[in-house]
Chain A
Amino acid sequence: MSSPSLTLPSPATARNRRLLETLGALAIAGTYIYLVLNQPADITGGPGSASALIALSGFLIGAVLLIIGVLPTLPVSTLVLIPVALVLNIVLGQFVGSTLVPFYLDAIGTVLIAVLAGPAAGAATGALSSIVWSFFNPTVLPFAAGAALIGFLAGVAARHGLFRRFYLAPVAGFLAGIIGGVVSAPVAAFVFGGTSGLATGAIVSAFRSMGDTLLAAITKQALISDPMDKAIVFTLVAVLVYALPRRTRLQFPFVRRYRVLAGTAISRPTGGSTGKSTGQDA
């Protein structure tokens, strides 16, 4: 009597996707732990290409699994925003990336999607951004896992209301930057043997001149650059999101459901709106 639904995913496919997401997260975490535990033997003895390969394959497999798990579950209204986010990442990041500022600003689009559509969409956007961007700049490909992590953390911050108060957004960005920077540091160390920008390279050199190992120096550089960078990015995204008209903001179910932004409370049909209506757009 009950024919299989043509539009809704069956419970088995939903379980498979959850499994893919978990495997992807495990691959990224496992790769990071392995690299940190095994690093001292490798970096100075020879070119360290075994670690480079492990970093590349582990992080990339994790990112691809996340994309395969998340992408089919996104609604079309979120999916069409992903290319827009990617273009914003590329247009703004390409400009800042190799200049004399130790920041990247290459995650504005990713964080924007995460705030509007949630952690899963943010993670998929981060990973996709690195993969698509590598068509123009192959050096960003290894950072797919770090970008996915930033997208995920931004979504989690948005869900817990850190974008409701304007001053909390940079704090959330700072914390996300610490985690993202520490996870991305082994990629910079083992795949690139340094960083790809001049200003970030100068900071690493300063730590190296004090006798740090390469991974330690790059991790310290990441702890200087990334939290500041992500604090700036989260603030810029908060500015952008609050500048959007209320109608546009409220078209995203994630924003309505978790009351991500101040003044986006839905008036309940039982009467009496929850929260003050402070949604002026001026």
Chain B
Amino acid sequence: MRLHPLTSLAAAGSTAVITTAAASWPLSLTVIAAAAGLSVAGGVARRMLPVVAVILAPLVLSLLAMHGLFFPEGTTVLAQWGPARVTVEGLHFALQRAAQLSAAVLVLLLCSFTISVPDLVAALSARGVHARFAFVLASTLTLLPAISSRLGRIRQAQEARGLVIMPGIVGRAGAFRWQAVPLVLSLVEDAGTRSAALQARGFGSTGHRTSYRAVQDSPVQRWVRLVLVLAAVAAIAARLWQPTAGAS
């Protein structure tokens, strides 16, 4: 049976919260391995890999360079060049934080890559979460590829009219104006048309709504969601109760 979108959202969210709260090496690495395994099993690994690399590579490199080289609180010095000191504590802090963040990022990305957006929107509207939030979410996710391609077409059109991107900040700012003004102009115009169409179809009204799309749900999944949310809250409470417990 397919997972209800809110169940996978709850699973990802509470895993991220619990990993952050636990702050332990073995758990972070287990979560990373599990997320990697699930992405391969779900067949999304190939699409996820570039996104993960773009997000995590600068983050991890930046953490390693920042704390690996400069950690004034560190005492065990491994190497020193001028002001830069490689300390055990700094490397430990950087790696620990990198593992923790990678685990959270991987789990949340796995969720957003496997979730079905139309199902999520239908589930959100059915739960009484404002139809407006669902509209913003769905509309953004569907507009994004369309607008990226429109930006490409605008650039081609302006290049055909003789736009050359000059080197340097002034040239780039000029090129930005030539591309951004037509883009924003057409988007604002489109939004005006869409607003009239939506208003004519009763979007602004507050009455009860029905949905064409029925999302499967089961009592078991409802219980699982409740348990997941409670587990996340319990993890936060436990960590606040004992701020330094289990800190390695």
Interface residues of A (CB under 8 A from B): 6-7, 42, 44-47, 49-50, 52-54, 56-57, 67-68, 71-72, 74-77, 79-84, 86-88, 90-91, 98, 112, 128, 132, 134-139, 141, 192-198, 200-202, 204-205, 208-209, 211-212, 236, 239-240, 243-245, 248, 251
**Residue in B55, B144, B199 whose beta carbon sits within 8 Å of that of A76 in the complex:** B199
Number of chain B residues close to chain A: CB under 8 A: 76
User: Which B residues are in CB contact (< 8 Å) with A139?
Assistant: 55, 59, 101, 105
Query: How many Cβ-Cβ contacts under 8 Å join chain A to chain B?
Result: 194
Q: Are B20 and A52 in contact (CB under 8 A)?
A: yes
Closest A residue by C-beta to B98: A193
Q: Which of B37-45, B62-70, B160-168, B214-222 contacts A (4 or more CB under 8 A)?
A: B62-70
Known A136-B112, A196-B62; contact A79-B132, beta-carbon cutoff 8 A: yes
User: Restricting to B177-192, which residues have a CB under 8 Å from any CB of A?
Assistant: 177, 180-181, 184-185, 187-192
Alpha-carbon distance A112/B143, docked complex (angstroms): 18
Q: Are B181 and A50 in contact (CB under 8 A)?
A: no
**Residue in A67, A134, A239, A248 whose beta carbon sits within 8 Å of that of B108 in the complex:** A134
- Minimum distance in angstroms from B153 CB to a CB of chain A: 14
Q: Are A47 and B97 in contact (CB under 8 A)?
A: yes
Q: Is B210 an interface residue (CB 8 A)?
A: no
Q: Are A197 and B62 in contact (CB under 8 A)?
A: yes
Q: Is B243 an interface residue (CB 8 A)?
A: yes
User: Which A residues are in CB contact (< 8 Å) with B73?
Assistant: 44
Q: Is B14 an interface residue (CB 8 A)?
A: no
User: Which A residues are in CB contact (< 8 Å) with B181?
Assistant: 239-240, 243
Q: Is B126 an interface residue (CB 8 A)?
A: no
User: Can you offer 5 A-B residue contacts whose CB atoms are under 8 A?
Assistant: A50-B239, A79-B136, A135-B141, A192-B97, A194-B67
**Residue in A196, A211, A236, A244 whose beta carbon sits within 8 Å of that of B188 in the complex:** A244
Alpha-carbon distance A46/B51, docked complex (angstroms): 30
**Residue in A53, A137, A240 whose beta carbon sits within 8 Å of that of B17 in the complex:** A53
Alpha-carbon distance A98/B199, docked complex (angstroms): 39
Q: Are A132 and B97 in contact (CB under 8 A)?
A: no
User: Which B residues are in CB contact (< 8 Å) with A141?
Assistant: 108
